Structure 1
Amino acid sequence: MSTNEVPRPLKYLRELGHKYPHAWKQAQSFWQDRGKDLPDWPRWCFLPMGGWHAIVGGGQEVPLERTADIGRLAALGAWRYSQGIYRFHPEIYEALCGTEISGDLPADVLLRLPEWCVYIETPGLCFGDEQMFGFFAHLEHDSNSGRKELRIVIDVQSGLFGFPLHLGRWSVEEAIRRSLCEAQSQAQRLNHEGKEMFEDPFAPKRMAPFFSSMISLLLYLCSDEPQIDDARQPGTSPAYPRAKKVKGGMKLFAPPSSRTWNVGFAAGEQIVQARTRARSGSERQGPRPHLRRAHWHGYWKGPRTGERTFHYKWLAPVFVAAENAQS
């Protein structure tokens, strides 16, 4: 993308803002009423989907052709207050996409997203036959059931496609299965055509590797001490927006432009340098340098009888015996 080209997330933000000209003002009003005229909800969720449903429907039943806009608005509306675009170092990006997420999802870790909604660039990933440019990710608190969801909105040439993942103590495959079952139930309730796609018992297994790659990228942002930096303002970190006091209460303000965060660049360059040294010294004596695969490491910290916190770290690829390749 050239320096003068408008980032794709900003294009979507402008398009939806034009289609729903009162959406951002209405969302701000709902957010201000949280815990007052409206029920309270967790800080990690900007606005539950019920609010966006009301915005799209305008107090009426949402037409079938506009149901997808609910998920799109939810992502863009939450992203609007930070406008963070996350760009991973190629080495770290490739390693993360290939890192297996085994066992149960660390659901509580995903609640630590650095902003209400993030947009991650995804070079090389495909959604079906289409190239992916990136994806939005934000968190949902279901107002009726209290269920926690990770909402992913995929960005491809043909547009934005949303997919919710139910969070809990289960695998990625089970999270997909639960989401598909919910979608099937909703399709049957509304008598939508095409509901057969939700009835494929092998769909969760086929889809799991695709979603695991995106979840792994998100987990890195949520892990302990991730390397996230702004090249234009070194030393800064992403954060939730802070409301400002204005006449009539507190108000959120969107930034004037998007912000690109470089992720894992220091670790990525170390891998590049280690690989270069390993190649140049491949004929030296001693153990042959090799790459130890990246993996996730989770552990509890704190007294056994007191309050404990769960820590999650991504252990980057390491070149073993790389010192033998040094000149």
Structure 2
Amino acid sequence: MIAPADKAVARDAFRHADALEREVLRRFPDAWRQLDAWRQQPPVVWPQWCLLPMAASTAVALAGRSSVGFGVAARAPVAQVAALYAWRYSRAVYLVEPGLLHRLLSTVPDALTLDDVTGLPSWCVYVPGGHPEFPGQGLWAHLEHDAKTGRPELRLLLDAGDGLEAMLPIPVYLDRPSLTEALADFRATALATTDGQRPTLDGPDVRGAAGDATVANLADRVDGLLAVIAYLARPEADIVDAIRPGARPGPRRTRIARDRQVWAVGYNTRT
């Protein structure tokens, strides 16, 4: 079904994910145990479409940093820890057929709502690079429930392939009427978070921020990526096991996956 070149992309993706996980555990040796404890004995209630709010990853990444300024804390790899933790429940990569990927990346999608993405087949999806139009090493995406504000978010993580610090987190709020407005809230929240404040387990609640040229440029960069993620969440999406073509994604796992999984996306319907 998939070509040898696709298999090589999958192998590289798994090697990269393994390296990122080792980097997380080198910096935060107890991270997975601590996050498991949050899930087993939840201190707060959150929706079932979210595996674990990022407040937990914030606590792990900022452990022992209570005396540092927020500028340092803001650079802690909170988004990276959250994505890698969620990805371990599937250990899957999604190889998108090049023609379909081109069409999706050329799409300007409507604003996403929570209902558009709750059907994601994994708690965190990982679409590796290997396509000239796709960013760097790939894209990670998962759903987030902000523990403070209650806002639903689609969390994108653009992966440049050079370790945790080279991964760019982009939160997309799912309660705004357009992508530009969602990203304007993201930028305003980021600016408020780094405005000399002290570390907290969750961020400020900025809503209805105005967009500008920076936000518009970011929207141009992100819209095609959102189309890819939205496609993966569709119930009719062409997603099959790359090794066992008859198998399709089932319910999201509630236990850590031990085996790796390669999903072929769009290969049955390519034209």
Partner residue, 1:93: 101
Call closer, same or farther: CA 1:216–1:241 in 2, change over 3 Å: closer
Partner residue, 1:17: 25
TM norm structure 2: 0.82
1:95-121 superposed Cα distances (whole Å, 9 cap, x missing partner)? 11112214x333321122111101012
Please give the root-mean-square deviation of Cα atoms over the aligned residues, in Å: 2.5
Which is higher, the Rg of structure 1 or of structure 2? 1
Quick one: which of 180, 183, 191 aligns to 1:176?
Answer: 183
Partner residue, 1:263: 265
Partner residue, 1:235: 246
Number of aligned residue pairs: give it: 247
Partner residue, 2:48: 43
The structural deviation recorded for 1:59 is 6.0
Quick one: which of 75, 89, 96 aligns to 1:67?
Answer: 75
Distance 1:84 1:98 in 2: 25
Call closer, same or farther: CA 1:107–1:62 in 2, change over 3 Å: farther
Relative to total residues, which structure has the larger strand share, 1 or 2?
1
Matched-pair contact (CA < 8 Å) for 2:62–2:73:
no
Matched-pair contact (CA < 8 Å) for 2:183–2:219:
yes
Question: Which residues of structure 2 form unaligned runs of 5+?
Answer: 1-7, 200-208
Distance 2:227 2:11 in 1: 31
Call closer, same or farther: CA 1:199–1:62 in 2, change over 3 Å: farther
Quick one: which of 79, 89, 101 aligns to 1:81?
Answer: 89
The structural deviation recorded for 1:49 is 1.2
User: What does 1:1-327 correspond to in 2, within 5 Å?
Assistant: 1=8, 5=12, 6-34=14-42, 38-58=43-63, 60-61=65-66, 63=68, 64=72, 67-102=75-110, 104-122=111-129, 123-125=131-133, 132-158=136-162, 159-190=166-197, 201-243=212-254, 252=255, 254-268=256-270, 271=271
SS at match of 1:52: helix
The structural deviation recorded for 1:133 is 1.6
What percentage of residue pairs aligned between the two structures are identical?
A: 29
Question: Which residues of structure 1 form unaligned runs of 5+?
Answer: 193-197, 244-251, 272-327
Call closer, same or farther: CA 1:167–1:3 in 2, change over 3 Å: closer
Call closer, same or farther: CA 1:4–1:87 in 2, change over 3 Å: closer
1:200-221 superposed Cα distances (whole Å, 9 cap, x missing partner)? 8211111112111110001101
Q: Larger relative CO (CA 8 A, sep 6+): 1 or 2?
A: 2
Partner residue, 2:206: none
The structural deviation recorded for 1:25 is 0.8
TM norm structure 1: 0.69
Residue identity in the other structure for 1:26: Q
Call closer, same or farther: CA 1:46–1:62 in 2, change over 3 Å: farther
The structural deviation recorded for 1:62 is 7.9
Residue identity in the other structure for 2:258: P
Call closer, same or farther: CA 1:53–1:216 in 2, change over 3 Å: same
The structural deviation recorded for 1:14 is 2.0
1:128-172 superposed Cα distances (whole Å, 9 cap, x missing partner)? xxx512111011101111011111111113321211111114111
Matched-pair contact (CA < 8 Å) for 1:99–1:216:
yes
